[in-house]
Structure 1
């Protein structure tokens, strides 16, 4: 058994333990969404930079979005001004080893949006460890930690964003 396989097993165990933990009745204290974190796969971001449309829909400046990109291959290079993480930034039991990633998860975002494939393990760890008040992502049975789960066909980012904005407007968290 390789070290990465052991890391994956212990990260899975962390996720399962979090699922059993008594944290599902949390109170959401967000009044207005001002601080937004974005977690996206590097390949998605390289093919479609959705940040301008998202920031306009949320009535924020593009630079107000804090973005971290996850690279499942571990060989990618982040575009300028963006941070990149991969499996090497994690230790056993989902422990975060990277200072950049540690700062990202400890930030008190009003909203954290996960655009990563729901099957990826380490973006789940990031979402679970995040101090964000409200978490949104694609609807999937393993994404039990999302406060807002949106079902779309494939990775239709524009539809996802449109639906997310509708939910946030209904909740009166954006104008």
Structure 2
């Protein structure tokens, strides 16, 4: 328990360091790939992101979804790309190979679809090499380039807003 507090503090410090170095680079290149980070405990409708990808004219093989859960045992078999806090070490170290592969891929757009405050989800968003990051309103606005204020269950409204803003930004 004592070491867990130090590990959390180490990861928070690393997150702040990443966010302070972050440079926002918005251009008008068309999007071809989509990454999604979500909290499995908050939402289970993964098909909505496939529908969003088709609305954004992204091929099905260019979308990757990764889910976080606090209880891996109860959700372990229902979703193949599931991770939890045990997949993280000190100073933001990633222990899961599949998770590291996701982070190494440079998506054109990353959607961070979660509202609960989990340090691991924030670390994934910050560590991602994605060019443009979209998220739901959170306490730390430095994580995303575009923040859409909706409720977690309003995935259709979120999708409409993403399409609208990406069209305005000339990314579709």
- Normalising by structure 2, we get a TM-score of 0.87
Instruction: Give the distance between the partners of 2:136 and 2:99, measured in 1 at CA.
Output: 21
Q: Are the equivalent residues in 1 in contact too, given 2:105–2:130 (CA < 8 A)?
A: yes
Displacement of 1:11: 1.4
In structure 2, the residue matched to 1:8 is 8
In structure 2, the residue matched to 1:93 is 91
- Root-mean-square deviation over aligned CA pairs: 2.1
Displacement of 1:30: 5.5
SS in 1 for 2:117: coil
SS in 2 for 1:68: strand
In structure 1, the residue matched to 2:47 is 49
- Normalising by structure 1, we get a TM-score of 0.86
Displacement of 1:71: 1.0
In structure 1, the residue matched to 2:38 is 40
SS in 1 for 2:171: coil
Runs of 4+ displaced beyond 6 Å: none
Displacement of 1:166: 0.6
In structure 2, the residue matched to 1:71 is 69
Q: 1:119 aligns with which of 112, 117, 132?
A: 117
Q: Are the equivalent residues in 1 in contact too, given 2:28–2:169 (CA < 8 A)?
A: no
Q: Are the equivalent residues in 2 in contact too, given 1:89–1:96 (CA < 8 A)?
A: yes
SS in 2 for 1:28: coil
Structure 2's unaligned 5+ residue stretches are none
Query: Could you say if the C-alpha distance between residues 29 and 86 of structure 1 is closer, same or farther in structure 2, counting changes exceeding 3 Å?
Result: same
SS in 2 for 1:54: helix
Instruction: Give the distance between the partners of 1:30 and 1:89, measured in 2 at CA.
Output: 35
In structure 2, the residue matched to 1:145 is 143
Structure 1's unaligned 5+ residue stretches are none
1:99-110 matched pairs, under 5 angstroms: 99-110=97-108
Instruction: Give the distance between the partners of 1:79 and 1:29, measured in 2 at CA.
Output: 37
SS in 1 for 2:147: strand
Q: Are the equivalent residues in 2 in contact too, given 1:69–1:84 (CA < 8 A)?
A: yes
